[in-house]
Every structure is written in C-alpha cells, then in structure tokens.
Structure 1
Amino acid sequence: TTKKPSTATATATYNIANLPPYPQSQHLYPHAQPLHTALNVCRPDSQRLTQLIKRIADEEVARCRNTFHNHPFVTKEVEHILKDFAVAAEQLVLDGTVAVAQNTPEEAVGEILQARLATLNEQKRRFVKEEKEWHELAVRRDEGPSATIPTPTPSVADASAANAQAASESAVGKLAEAQTSAQTSLEIQVDRICAMVQGCESLVASAEERAGQLASRFHRESFRMLPHVDSPAVLIKSLAATSRALAAVAAEATAS
C-alpha cells in the first residue's frame, strides 16, 4: 500500500511497509533526567511539570525527525499528537486534576530510621549474648563431663526483658506516627494516580480518534486514483451518458 503526498509539488511515493521502525528505548524515557535537571528551580512545581512535559515532547519529535527524515508526514503526525497531549496535560495541571507528588517529610523519615536502628541494635545485642553463651557451652563440653553448664541468672534475664520492653514501648509511638504519615501520603498519591489515569483515558480516546482520521485519510489518498464502481467519477460519467441518450431520443421525437 502506498501513499502520495498531498502537496502538488512533491513527486515521491511513500511505502508504509518500508518505513523504519519507531525508535524504542529500554527505559521509560532515557533523557527525562537531564531535562528535569535543567528546569528552573525558582518556578512553582506545576510550571516545572508542564515545562518538563513540553521538553520531553520536543525531544521526542526531534528523535522522530532524525529517524523518519525521509518521511516528513510521519514526523508531522507525531508532532501533532504530542502537541495535543502537552496541551491536555497542561490543562489538567492548571485544573488541579494532576499535581506534583510531595516527598515524605524529613522528620518522619528520621523517626523511621531511628526506630529501625534501635531495633537492629537490640537484635545485635541479643545475638552477641547468645553467641557468648554458646561459646561458653562449647568450652564446658570440651573440658569434660564434670563441667557445669552456666545458666543465665533470673536477675540478668529480668533486666534484659525490662530493657527490651522499654525499647519497644519507646519505638511503638514513633512507628505508629510514621505509619500514619506514610499511609496518608500513599492515599494522596493513589488519588492523584487515579486522576492521572482518568486523564490518560481521555487522551487515549482522543489519540484513537486521531488515528482513525489518519487511517481514513490514508485510505482515501491510496485509492483515489483507482477506478471503482461506486466512485464519483464513474457516477458522473453514467449520468452524463444517460442525459446524452435522453437528449438524442428527444431530438428524434421532435424531428419526426
């Protein structure tokens, strides 16, 4: 299937099957991090987000232009779709439907790390104590059957249990507060992601409609020069022949 350019001056014929493959990437977008770093830090987060979307769209159009430099109509269609996407995304940001996610406060992160560190230190202390007891047990076993095995005294065990309970009680409040803060942050992010998905659904519907229009244009341009029984040219020729025949019959009737 071939497609001729719509311009009258162009003479090349594009073969859709021979177009080069669209440039793919192993990651979602490898150039997003440099573009994000180059944004103006003095602007609000909403403006930085829209600016990042526009820069990514421009970068994608440039990549497409380098790949399809011999097929400018492909680049034109991609540029049109990405432009519509950038405008729709900017509108979602301005409406407040899509917002920049906020990071977890440093205080909450510090409390979580401190609680985790206290738990690990307690585990380390218990492991060291257990290792020492096992080492003493092995030494007593090697010394002979008459050796007695040391057992922890009740006072030491009670003190260890009290220390562990105090450490756990001090960490419970911090962990509960950190969990509540993290859960609230996750709920906000989930709501924003759901709103973004709804916006993406409308964008996908718009892209599908645009693709259908492009397919219709391609079909019309491809088969415009081919004769067809239902084509307007054949219909006009048939009507013209019928009118000429009727005119001839009328002329003969008038002459007789």
Structure 2
Amino acid sequence: MRFDDAVAAYMSDKRGRLRACTLAGYESAIHRHLLPRWSGVELESIEPEDVQAWVDGFELPGAALKAYKTLRQVVRWSIRRLGVRMADPTAQGVELPHVAHRVLEVMDAAQTREMLRALWGTDVEAVAICAATLGLRRGEACGLKWSDIDLRTGEVRIRRSRQVVLGEEVVEAPKTERSARSCWLPRFAVRRLRQIRRGATGWLCQLRPDAVARRMRSACSRAGVACVSMTNLRHTWATLAVEAGVGIETVAMMLGHSGITTAYEHYIVPRRRICQDAQKAVERLLLSAA
C-alpha cells in the first residue's frame, strides 16, 4: 500500500472522531513533514533505518518529535485497521532527539491580582476572572456562557470549548471526559461577576478567543503590569494552588485531568516558597521526634 493511500484512509477515519484542533495538528504535520518524505513510498518498504535518518534530518527537536508521533499513528492505524502486513518501523529502536524542558512563565499572587485590576471594566474581565481563578484552558474560559455560572453558589459548569481553528471559530465538547466538570469560584470572583453581569446573556465575552487573549495582553501592557498567555494563566493557578497548600489530587481534579501525573509534570512550578514550606513541615517533624 502506498503511504499516500494510507494517510488518506487514516484522515478520513479521524475526521469523524477527533476534535477540530487535534485534526488540524495532524493535517499540519502530515503536509509539512510526512508527505514531502514518504509520498509515493510503499508503506511496507519503510525500514527503521529510513525513519531514523528522517528524524535525524530535522533541525528542531520539537518538530521531529511531533512528525515522528504522527508517522507512528498512521503506521500503527494502518496495521490495525487496514490489515497491512508489516513490522512496525517506528517501534524498533528509533532514537528521538532530546527536547529541552520548557520553563513555564507563571505569575505570583501579587502579579495575578494586579492583572485582574488592570482588566477591571474591560470586555474581557469576566473571562479573565474565570481563567485566573479556576485554571481553565483558553477554550473553556472563552466557551463559558452566563447560564453556565450559578452566581448564588459560585458553581461554574464546563460544558464546551470555544476556539479558533484554521481561522474559523469552532465550538466543541471539552478536551476529555474529565474536562466536562464543575468548578467553584472564590467569593471575591462571585461578587465581581454579579456586578459585571447586569442581565447579560450568551457568551461571557463576544470576542473571538484569539481576540480575547490579545485584548488581555494589551490592557495589561497599557497598565504596566505583568501578563501571561491564557495557557500560562492555567499554569499560574495550579502553582498558586499548590503554594497555598492545596493537594495535588485536588489541583488535578480542578484542572480536569484524569490523574495527578499530568498536573505534576506540566502544571506545577517548584517555586521557592513551596519548597521552603515543605522543609519547614519536615523540620517540625524531625525536631518534635522523641
């Protein structure tokens, strides 16, 4: 089977299964990296040495890793779903480049408070409050409607994700089954959202998700205060929660993760105060031991 035919069958199957943003990521990797190398090649003829040479030819480790994972998906799907008889060339000792650990850009409590003050009265304030106090993904925060928020109890029901994919606004289900969840706002956020609402309905903000992020950064820049991306605002909430003494399992639940590993590996920054508080607790135990 030619690689092109396998890719076409794979994408046809995935179009009815994957979220729009995930599908766009696969399509990008296929057209930028896979087809330029493997177009016209018989799938069964691909050897591990071919894959290794291809991976080694990438300048950027991150691009190499993404392309390799997409190739692996196509090959394994073809073996499983199309019955292609071949040894998996992506499972035989291919050495992948090391991707440097990304240092997260997060704000401390004072900076987060200053950011929210800078956004006071803007059309993105309600979205920013929910993102900063609940650790929401950008699509989740921008996908909130006023009807999703109970301003008596503070409950916020995450039921959809609103994002821009290939220039078009898309509204779809949350990222995972656990992402469809309820969170509860802190009291100051509930009080402020009551003031903001004033009978409003529909989206918390009518701007497109990409415009929301730009508006937040622009307002903070004019006020001269720190601002991070909405993705890093999610990281910020998780780090502040741990710093405040919240257990990692609760943080993972609030973030909508299926387990604590993702929260620990990708969302928690080991700040000085967190580590020092841990040592103080251990010190108290050591010094009080009989």
TM more than 0.5? no
Larger fraction in strand: 2
Q: TM-score under structure 1 normalisation? A: 0.23
Whichever structure has more helix as a proportion of its residues is: 1
Q: Structure 2 length normalisation: TM-score?
A: 0.21
